[in-house]
Structure 1
Amino acid sequence: MMHDAGNIRALTGSSLLEALLQTSSDAIVVSDAEGRIVFWNPGAARIFGFDAVEAVDQSLDLIIPEKLRARHWQGYRHVMATGHSRYGEGDLLSVPALTKDGRRISVEFTIVMLRDEHGTAVGMASIMRDSTKHFEELKSLRRKIAELESAAPAA
């Protein structure tokens, strides 16, 4: 079925932004300079289990495993103070995260710095994808390779 290119081009400005933000595939989480969640899309609800009402106005600690929080906040505060992140150039990061039911999952994500009209960092948008299945498959393959290597006769 052919679609009219004019209809696609008409989807601009706020309607395009709304369509992108309301995607249910990837999580889009926006946090302010203090690390409070100010936007939580349907993808975030699907991945993490918290709906927007539960997540908005909460600390990012909602999805950060406890033993990683100190390191996360040290980096977050540094990024907000300097306005720069070594991860803000489109790098794909992989980290553990928490779900509402307490499960630990793996997420891959990118960040986008949010700035005011003066260029000052005022928050961050994160676009995340659940990569738990992929992470577990890689871990299993590495374990099998190690077992094969240790069982192989020495040459």
Structure 2
Amino acid sequence: MQTTVDLTQLVSVIGDAVVVCDSAGVITLWNGAAERMFGFTEDEALGKSLDLIIPQRLQARHWDGYRTTMETGHTRYGSDVLKVPAVHKSGAALSIAFTVALLRDANGAVSGIAAVIRDETARFQEDRELRKRLAAAEARAGA
């Protein structure tokens, strides 16, 4: 039995954020999960730069990597999960984890990037608290 997948429906109902950008880093797709995660509506995000969700202190580094990926057609994050800080519309810091897929035109040139993103903020905060508690316990035990 062959099943046809409605990709538009899939992207709209999936629990992870799906963000697609063109070769210049302009957002061309922003699903409902991205809206919930980052606080920007689809109308607010479409046509905008990824700087919308990238902390200012990391933007130069991000764009260096983005341009290199567009030029070379290679990324190490296709199968590896990348964990980075992000920014919510409110200005609140987020911790996100994502993978990317390079999108190619009919000639095989990279034309954009699709990212599937998960909010790891709560887990990151729990891990940080556990590390602090462990360090404090080790300090007490060694004292």
- Please say whether Structure 1 and Structure 2 have the same fold, judged by a TM-score greater than 0.5: yes
2:71 is aligned to 81
1:128 is aligned to 117
**Does 2:9 correspond to 1:19?**
yes
Q: Which is higher, the Rg of structure 1 or of structure 2?
A: 1
Q: Distance in 1 between matches of 2:54 and 2:41?
A: 16
Q: TM-score scaled to structure 2, two decimals?
A: 0.96
Letter in 1 for 2:104: R
Letter in 2 for 1:141: L
The count of residues paired between Structure 1 and Structure 2 equals 143
Letter in 2 for 1:122: S
**Does 2:92 correspond to 1:103?**
yes
Q: Distance in 2 between matches of 1:59 and 1:74?
A: 14
1:112 to 1:32, Cα distance in 2 relative to 1, 3 A: same
Show structure 1 runs of 5+ residues with no match.
1-5
Preserved CA contact (<8 Å) 1:96 1:105: yes
Identity %: 48
Q: Residue 127 of structure 2: which of 103, 125, 138 is its match?
A: 138
Letter in 1 for 2:114: A
SS in 1 for 2:74: coil
1:119 is aligned to 108
Q: Distance in 1 between matches of 2:131 and 2:72?
A: 38
Q: TM-score scaled to structure 1, two decimals?
A: 0.88
Q: Distance in 2 between matches of 1:93 and 1:66?
A: 18
